[in-house]
Structure formats: structure tokens, C-alpha cells
Chains A and B, each alone.
Chain A
Amino acid sequence: MNPNDPGAALAIAVVLFVLGLLGVMVRRNLLFMLISVEIMLNAAGLAFIAAGTRYHMADGQVMFLMILAYAAAEAAVGLAIVLRMHAAGRATLDADTGNRLKG
């Protein structure tokens, strides 16, 4: 098996992505949903890096860096929202009641 073969790495990425999606769909706690989204972003990054290796180009890693930046921004905003919800009295962080946008 060739380490440069993107097939195996892409399969790992797919499995990770699906697991992350499953987490988003299953968990009701907003914090866990955020973590699951991070997993999905990582899976996407892995796919990019595998593709970059396949063609031996730096672009894949550039894309991974972008994803990193997006993940950081998303985590900052998401965590701020989590804190806000908690402070506003939704201590359970239940996403299913998140549609009641008060506070």
C-alpha cells in the first residue's frame, strides 16, 4: 500500500466526516455539537491534505490552513454563544430549545 495513495486517507476522512455529522445530529448539547462540527472540519482538512499529497502540491495544505482559520473563528463565535446561553439561563445548552431566541 502506497502512503501517497489518497484512497485510504480519503476513506478515513469520509468516516471521520460521517461520525462528525452523526454527532451533530444526535447530540442535543450545543457544546457537543460544536465539537462535532470541529470533527467535520478536520475531516475536510484531511481530505484536502490527501489530495495535495496525491498531486504533490502545496495547495492542499493551504486549504487546510484556511480551514484552520475558519475553525478558529467558528469556535470563538460558537463558544461565545454557548457562554451567552448559559448565562441567560439556558444552563442545559439544549439546542432543541435554541429556536426560542430570547437572550
Chain B
Amino acid sequence: MTALLPLVILCPLAVSIILLLSRGAMPARATCGLVALGMGLCAAIAVTEAVTFLTGPASTGALHVVLWNWMHVGGFGAQFALTLDRLSLVMMLVVSVVGFLILLYACAYMIDDPDIARFFTYMTLFVASMELLVLSSDLLGVYVGWEGVGVCSYLLVGFWYHERPNALAARKAFVVTRIGDALFLVGLLLLATGVGRLDIGSVLAIAPMAPRPAIALGCFLILGGAAAKSAMVPLQTWLPDAMAGPTPVSALIHAATMVTAGVYLIARLHAMFLLVPGIMFLCAVIGFITLLLAAGAAMVQTDIKRVLAYSTMSQLGYMYLALGCGAWQAAIFHLVTHAIFKALLFMGAGSIILRVHHEQDIFRMGGLRKSMPVVFYAFLAGAAALAGLPLISAGYFSKEMILTSAYNVAPLFWLGGVFGAFLTSIYIFRCVFITFWGHERTHPHGRTTIVEFVPLVILAVLAIVAGWVQTPEVIAPMHLFSTLLAPVFGPLPEEHGGGMLLLIGSIVPIIGVSIAWALYKPRHKAPVPLETPWTRTLRADWGFDALYDVLFVKPYFALARLNRGDAVIGFFGAVAWVTRTGGAMFAHMQSGQVRRYAGWIAAGTVLALCLAV
């Protein structure tokens, strides 16, 4: 079945190319049909591959598909090859199945947009790049996919580029992630010069023998690249603004897949990161800070998509915390559940936004529970999973797994994580109560179509039950997920204090929901956002934007203004001027007058003799 593996990448790529070549001439329905077909094929092949791989002989190892020799320069060689092991299998399934559902939803969401072909060109190209990223067995191929998803993110955030804020948000996302991409690339080059190869197997095999400072530096740079992609502090400022894109984009790129690419990358290279505990600790600290900062910022947002964006950052912080604590299974498990429930939340939010005239302020919604019940229940399931309500949500199990691991590394991390979970349950249910309860402040119009319902319902069911594949020992001896990943990460370490931690972790979200209900339960007076200097700072991302504006943007603009005349081009202009004038001068010599030529020859001879004598 190895022949089918490249098709996981090729199917979306082919759709993208067809749509690109059609130049929007295809009718909207045909475009949607093509996308659904291509992505459906991609998902079906991915599932088939997964089943054959897990039942096949190599199910604990890895399946290599070498497509061609990419380059062989000097001592450096790279192959264009795909690897299917249990980690990339999980990622491939997430990308293709969740991607399929989101693109199906996007068909309904974008059907009225005149640029639907362009939208799906980017979206399918994104899926292809993401599949390449997770499947490539060579870090160079990973980098190609990494840049591909970055470009698609830029194009899709600025999809409605006629409005200036959207274009600016796209630029910001691109520039900030580019910092990380540059770090990542430098890290890769460092590894390439140090190790000589970039295929992941060789790198991991040689890394223990390599000098430790070089490995530490490479890990640090790769962590920097991953942090920028995943919107970790201090490179987190782009993600809230990236919500300017269409909502399916936020669901697919900025919640389910691209932002988790960094988590995947670090998990993929975990053997190398294990060599440098300092970088691991840094990773945990970054995740810890981000999860608290983002949760705090999400408390006061008024835009429903920004609430979800900050919650994404916060949940990614949990994943980085898990990675830093060496809980690889927990990180990947949370990645999967997060992809499910966050995609669900974004799609629910998208359905609401579509119905209420593209209003995104939750304080202008309200009472939507009755007018759009399916969306309400789906959103509720997603919110429960995000808050980590015990037993009935997928997020509960994955988050508990992370918190338990964090407790075993440092109790402070555990404490922060629980506090983050507390904040999470407050802010998401604040959003739920304000949006779905109380009086209607905007009357929804139209209907939510069946094409939107299908992905919503599927993901809602998954968000409730998917957590049961991996449960703590106290509740039930279910270890499907960690067993699945055991060949890659090794067996799950022994954990202590499970029962007590679990109890606290289960009670905290319920308390949070209760507080949210107490604060935002329906009253006669419509709720209004809090307006204090403190909340304003929080709402503006703790002032990071303003800080970066003063630290980087303003000086850069000042420099640019200083160099308005462009010194560099002035130099080249001078070169061009000298050449042109000299040429004109010498052109006069070429007069066709024999006597002048003789004169020039004489002058040249004199000069040459003067130099020679």
C-alpha cells in the first residue's frame, strides 16, 4: 500500500492546481464538489493507509517511501521521501479527516463568495503542504511544507484583502512567523553542517555523538521556529489578528493544524531535545507563560473569534508545557483533541457569524439558543471540551494527562495549569452564556444548511467521546492512545498522585462554569463588557502589541524614512551613471573617422609606453 501514500499529498495538490488553472471560471457548486471529492479521497486514503499500516507487519516501525533523490551536493544529500510511523500517522489522520470536515463546512460557508475558487486553491494547497510537513522523512521536506503552510496562512488571513485591516493582519502574521522561520532555517543549516544529513532518522541517530553546544543551539533555534508558528510568547502577537481571515481558515489553520506544526516538530525530534534539558525547560516555561497570558487575555475579549484565538494560544501553551515536561504522548493527545474541539468551536462561531450579519461582538448577540439549537449544542460540546468538564469531554482527559505529567516535573507547572484551566472554563462559558442566553440583541436570518450540520455534528460527537481512548488509571484502564504511540515515544512513565490531582482537576472547571454562570447569567439588563484600564490592557494582548510597536515597528519605520532616498540604490545608480556616461564618451570615439582612430591609437601607445618605460 506504499504506492498510495503520496496520494495523500497529491490529491489536495491536484485540486489546488485544477482550481488555480480554472481561474475562477468554474461554477461555485462545481468547485465545492471538486474540493469535497479531492479531500474525501485524501481522507479515505489516509484512513486506508492507517488501517493497513496498523494491521501490517511494520506496524511498530516505520514505512519509508522514497520518491526520488532530491539533491546530492558535496557531502550533503537529501531524498524526497515520506515516512509513515505512528506519530505521523496520527498527524496525517488529524490533518486529512479534520481538514476534510472543515473544507466540507467551508463549502457551505463560502458558497456565496465570488472568490471561492481562489479560497479553495489556497485551502487545498495548505492541506497538501501540511501533509508534506507531517509525512516528510527529511527535515528539508518538512521545511518546504513549513513554508508552504506559512504562505497559505498569509494568503488566507488576507483573503479579503480589499479591507486594509485584513491585509495588515496578513502582513503581521507573515512577518512574525517569518522570524521563526528564519530561526528554524538557521537551525536546519546548523544541523546540516554538523550532521551532514537532514533526514530525521540520521539526525536523531547522530545527535548523541555530536558536540552538545551545537545540538543545544540547533534545538533552541528549532524551538524558536516552532514557537513562532504556534504563537508562543514572545512571538504570539500575530494569532489574534490572524482572525481577520474567513472563519474556516481560522478553524483549519489557526486552530487545528498549522499552529500545532511546531508541537509535531518538537515531538518528532524529541530524542534530540531530550539531550538538552535546558531547552526542554525553556520550552515548558514558554508554554506555561503563554497559557496563563493567553487565558488572561481571553477573559476580557468581546470578539467571539478573538476569544477562540486566545484560547488556542492557551491550549498550545498546554502542549508546549507537556513537551517541555517530556510528556510527548500527552502533548500529541491534547493536539488531537484540541484539533477536534477547537475546529468545532470555530465552525460553530462561523455559523453564528454567518447568521447574524457578520457580527462578531458577543455582546451584540444573545439568546441564540432557541433560534439555532444545533449550533448551540455543538458549540456547547466544544466549550465543554475546551473547559475540560470531567468525563463528558475529550479535553478533560488530555488536559489531565498533561497536568499529571507537569505535576511530576514541577508542582508549580501543575498549579499554573490548573489555574489556566479555571480561567479557561470561565472565559469560554462567559462566551457561551452571553451568546446563547438572555435576550436576542441581533435577530438571526437565513438557515444553517445541512452541509454545515454534518461536520458540526460529527465533531461534536468526537469532542464528547474521543477522550475515552486514553483514560487515567483511576477511572478506567484504557490506554489506547499511549499504546498507539509507544513505539515512537516509549512506554508511559509511572505517575504519582493520580487520584488527588484528578479530583482537583475535575472540580476546578465546574467551579469555573459556576462562576461564569453567576457573573453572566441572563438578567434584565443586557451585559456590557467591563471597561477599566486593566481590562483594556488585557484586551490589547497585555500591551505586547504596543510594546513591539515602540520597540521594533516605530524604529524600523524611522529607519526606513531615514533611508527614503535609498543609499544602496544610490550607489548602484552611481555605477549606472558612470557606465552610461563613460559609454557615451567612448561612443564618441567610434566616429568612423580614420584619422581620429589613428589619433586614439597614438594616444593609447603614448600612454602604454609611459606606463611601460
Check if B595 sits within 8 Å of A25, measured CB to CB. yes
Check if A28 sits within 8 Å of B595, measured CB to CB. yes
Q: Which residues of A contact B599 (CB under 8 A)?
A: 25
The majority secondary structure among interface residues of chain A is: helix
Listed residue (A24, A27, A33) with the most chain B CB atoms within 10 angstroms of its CB: A24
Q: Mark A24-37, 1 if CB is under 8 A from B, else 0.
A: 11111000010000
Q: Which residue of B lies closest to A95 (CB)?
A: B594
Listed residue (B591, B598, B599, B602) with the most chain A CB atoms within 10 angstroms of its CB: B598
Q: Which residues of A contact B594 (CB under 8 A)?
A: 33, 95, 98
Min C-beta distance of B595 to chain A, whole Å:
5
Min C-beta distance of A40 to chain B, whole Å:
10
Q: Which residues of B contact A25 (CB under 8 A)?
A: 595, 598-599, 602
Q: Mark A71-103, 1 if CB is under 8 A from B, else 0.
A: 000000000000000000000000110110000
Min C-beta distance of B604 to chain A, whole Å:
12
B69 at the interface (CB under 8 A from A): no
A21 at the interface (CB under 8 A from B): yes
> When chains A and B are docked, how far (Å) is the Cα of A50 from the Cα of B602?
23
- How many residues on chain B are close to A (CB under 8 Å)? 8
Check if A24 sits within 8 Å of B591, measured CB to CB. no
Choose from A24, A96, A98 the contact partner of B598 (Cβ within 8 Å).
Answer: A24
Choose from A26, A27, A99 the contact partner of B592 (Cβ within 8 Å).
Answer: A99
Min C-beta distance of B605 to chain A, whole Å:
9
B593 at the interface (CB under 8 A from A): yes
Q: Which residues of A contact B602 (CB under 8 A)?
A: 21, 25
Min C-beta distance of A43 to chain B, whole Å:
13
Q: Which residue of A lies closest to B595 (CB)?
A: A25
Listed residue (B591, B592, B594) with the most chain A CB atoms within 10 angstroms of its CB: B594
Min C-beta distance of A21 to chain B, whole Å:
6
Q: Mark B563-602, 1 if CB is under 8 A from A, else 0.
A: 0000000000000000000000000000111110011001
Check if B593 sits within 8 Å of A99, measured CB to CB. yes
Q: Mark B598-612, 1 if CB is under 8 A from A, else 0.
A: 110010000000000
> When chains A and B are docked, how far (Å) is the Cα of A21 from the Cα of B106?
87
Listed residue (B591, B593, B595, B602) with the most chain A CB atoms within 10 angstroms of its CB: B595
Min C-beta distance of A95 to chain B, whole Å:
5
> When chains A and B are docked, how far (Å) is the Cα of A25 from the Cα of B592?
14
Q: Which residues of B contact A27 (CB under 8 A)?
A: 595
> When chains A and B are docked, how far (Å) is the Cα of A95 from the Cα of B591?
12
Q: Which residues of B contact A99 (CB under 8 A)?
A: 591-593
Listed residue (A25, A33, A98) with the most chain B CB atoms within 10 angstroms of its CB: A25
Q: Which residue of B lies closest to A30 (CB)?
A: B594
Min C-beta distance of A82 to chain B, whole Å:
13
Q: Which residue of A lies closest to B593 (CB)?
A: A96
Q: Which residue of A lies closest to B594 (CB)?
A: A95
Q: Which residues of A contact B593 (CB under 8 A)?
A: 95-96, 98-99
Q: Which residues of B contact A26 (CB under 8 A)?
A: 595
Min C-beta distance of A79 to chain B, whole Å:
16
Q: Which residues of B contact A21 (CB under 8 A)?
A: 598, 602
Assuming the A-B contacts A21-B602, A25-B602, are A95 and B595 also in contact, with contact meaning beta carbons closer than 8 angstroms in the complex?
yes
Q: Lowest 5 CB-CB distances: which A-B pairs, in order? A: A99-B592, A24-B598, A95-B594, A25-B598, A25-B599
Interface residues of chain B, those whose CB is within 8 Å of chain A, are 591-595, 598-599, 602
23 A–B contact pairs at CB < 8 A?
A21-B598, A21-B602, A24-B595, A24-B598, A25-B595, A25-B598, A25-B602, A26-B595, A27-B595, A28-B595, A33-B594, A33-B595, A95-B593, A95-B594, A95-B595, A96-B593, A96-B595, A98-B592, A98-B593, A98-B594, A99-B591, A99-B592, A99-B593
Q: A24-B598, A96-B595 are in contact. List 6 more A-B contacts (CB 8 A).
A: A21-B602, A26-B595, A28-B595, A33-B594, A95-B593, A99-B591
